Amino acid sequence: MQEYDLVIRGGTVVTAADTARADVGIRNGKIIAVGLELAKGKQEIDATGLRVMPGGIDSHVHLAQPAFGGPAMADGFESGTRSAIAGGNTTVLPFALQSRGMSLRKAVEDYHKEAEGQSYCDYGFHLILTDPTPAVLGQELPALVAAGYTSLKVFMTYEDMVLNDRELLEVFDAAGEYGALVMVHCEGYDAIRFMTEKLEKAGKVAPYYHAVSRPQSVEREAAHRAISHAELTGVPIMIVHVSGGEAMEQIRWARNRGLKIMGETCTQYVSLTADDLKGLNMDETGSKYVCSPPPRDHKSWEAIWNGIQTGVFQTFSSDHCPFYFEGEMGKKNPKARTAFKWVPNGIPGVAVRMPILWSEGVAKGRITENEFVALTSTNHARIYGLTSKGAIAAGYDADIVLWDPARKVTISQSLMHHGSDYTPWEGFEVTGWPHATILRGEVVMREGEILGAKEGGKFLPRALSPMASRGAGAPMN
């Protein structure tokens, strides 16, 4: 009897902890051995010259969501997860958005219908709470947390989603009681409205002014407020999509005071700038880059790298939030052309997250390969309760990316496999690219060719986050 269904031979295994020349033996979708001179498998992959790393886990993607106040998204589960595996990922965590007045349970059921049989990679759901009624917080939330939806996101802006301070406190408190991890979108609603109206009165409505309407101070103030609420309720929080040094310094300050505040940053905050929103000549091509918080400037990139290098950020995500550019549903639909406030917020990036972090981070000497694995996979698994993911070790799911560290690629729409009709990174040059993606022992992508099936991914109920427990444990470093 063959011991292994698959042996990945001759590669260099890189985990969040260490690097070693080793083979990986897989049976029934699980890693069962990591060692030298493993017996021949039924199938063999020659990984000579490649890094063998845990498959990417992108814990911040939006799929099949009824938009951020605008047209429908360009990706459902099929195209969004296809793009994910093209980029070396094996798990994504999208959001189940509760519309106001709607039951949270119903929102989750609806997203399951969208995802069932339509996912090329494994997936779980964060909840988005927009209507934290006593019934939602007292009954639905604990039941959903117990069923494996162990994290939730709240918004401090957006007409349809914003929670006031009292509501934020109630949500934090309830999450603390059930052990759910709270993710916070930190941008101040009133400040954005004030700025938007002022800019509109001055006729400044081009996409670029989206960035002007939500400067770093708006993000910093909200981050500070969220941290204060976390302190008051004794609840750890994750501040998501941090765009620059100002909010980053708030997290650092909080941690230095012993608070359990975590941070996430994203690809766009080390590779795009607000000037990209100017488009070709302050025209609507700038809307291709409209996302929130907006990308900043080169100085911010350096601040974000500093936060990555010093452990302020635990996760590096894409915040994949895809829209079309052209057409009635696109970012330059007729209404969106009249003012930046109507341009849907978000950009597609699940396929470029790992290549850009490798290229700008590892290849340029800013982070180690092990830090890359922690930032793109292992920390996402640990923080969000994905207990069988994020490591190359016996007993873990055989979710693996075979990485070509030297491969030079010019990013283009044709490589993305997503639903959007553009990529914000068209023409961006990277060193380092996924050679193959392996999901629970099956090769689902090789050399850009999608080999997996859209029924191949499965839903992952998640354990409670060890980082979410109220007041327990030492502060994070």
- Residue 51 touches which of Zn ion, ligand DUC, none (Cβ within 5-8 Å per kind): none
- Residue 345 touches which of ligand DUC, Zn ion, none (Cβ within 5-8 Å per kind): ligand DUC
Q: What minimum distance in Å lies between the beta carbon of 345 and ligand DUC? A: 4
Which helix (H) or strand (E) segment holds residue 185: the answer is strand 181-185
Of residues 307 through 326, those in contact with ligand DUC by CB under 6 A are: 319, 321
DSSP tag of 358: I
Q: What is the CA radius of gyration of the chain?
A: 21
Of 277 and 436, the one with the shorter C-beta distance to ligand DUC is 277
Cβ pair 124, 134 in contact under 8 A: no
Query: Total residues contacting ligand DUC (rule CB under 6 A)?
Result: 10
What is the token pair recorded at 200?
């509109």
Q: Please give the C-alpha separations between residue 115 and each of 92, 95, 458, in angstroms, as whole numbers.
A: 12, 11, 9
Residue 295 as a binder of ligand DUC (CB under 6 A): the answer is no
Residue 279: which region, alpha, beta or left (left: phi > 0; alpha: psi -120 to 50)?
left
- Residue 9 touches which of Zn ion, ligand DUC, none (Cβ within 5-8 Å per kind): none
Nearest-angstrom CA–CA distance, 227 and 194: 23
Q: What minimum distance in Å lies between the beta carbon of 292 and Zn ion? A: 7
Q: What one-character-per-residue DSSP string does 405-455 give? A: EEEEEE--GGGT-SSSS--TTTT-EEEEEEEEEEETTEEEEETTEE-S-TT
Residue 185 as a binder of Zn ion (CB under 5 A): the answer is yes
460: CB partners within 8 A, 6+ apart? 91, 122, 123, 124, 148, 386, 389
Residue 98 as a binder of ligand DUC (CB under 6 A): the answer is no
Specify the pairing of strand 400-410 against strand 181-185: unpaired
Of 62 and 220, the one with the shorter C-beta distance to ligand DUC is 62
Residue 422 as a binder of ligand DUC (CB under 6 A): the answer is no
Name the burial class of residue 137, with classes exposed (0-12), middle (13-18) and buried (19+) by CB atoms within 10 angstroms of its CB. Answer: buried
E strand spans, 243-354? 261-266, 315-317
**124, 245, 330, 346: residue in contact with ligand DUC (rule CB under 6 A):** 346
Residue 287 as a binder of ligand DUC (CB under 6 A): the answer is no
| x/- map, 43-62, ligand DUC, by CB under 6 A | -------------------x
**78, 319, 371, 397: residue in contact with Zn ion (rule CB under 5 A):** 319
| x/- map, 186-225, ligand DUC, by CB under 6 A | ----------------------------------------
Residues that bind Zn ion (CB under 5 A): 185, 319
Residues that bind ligand DUC (CB under 6 A): 62, 68, 185, 241, 291-292, 319, 321, 345-346
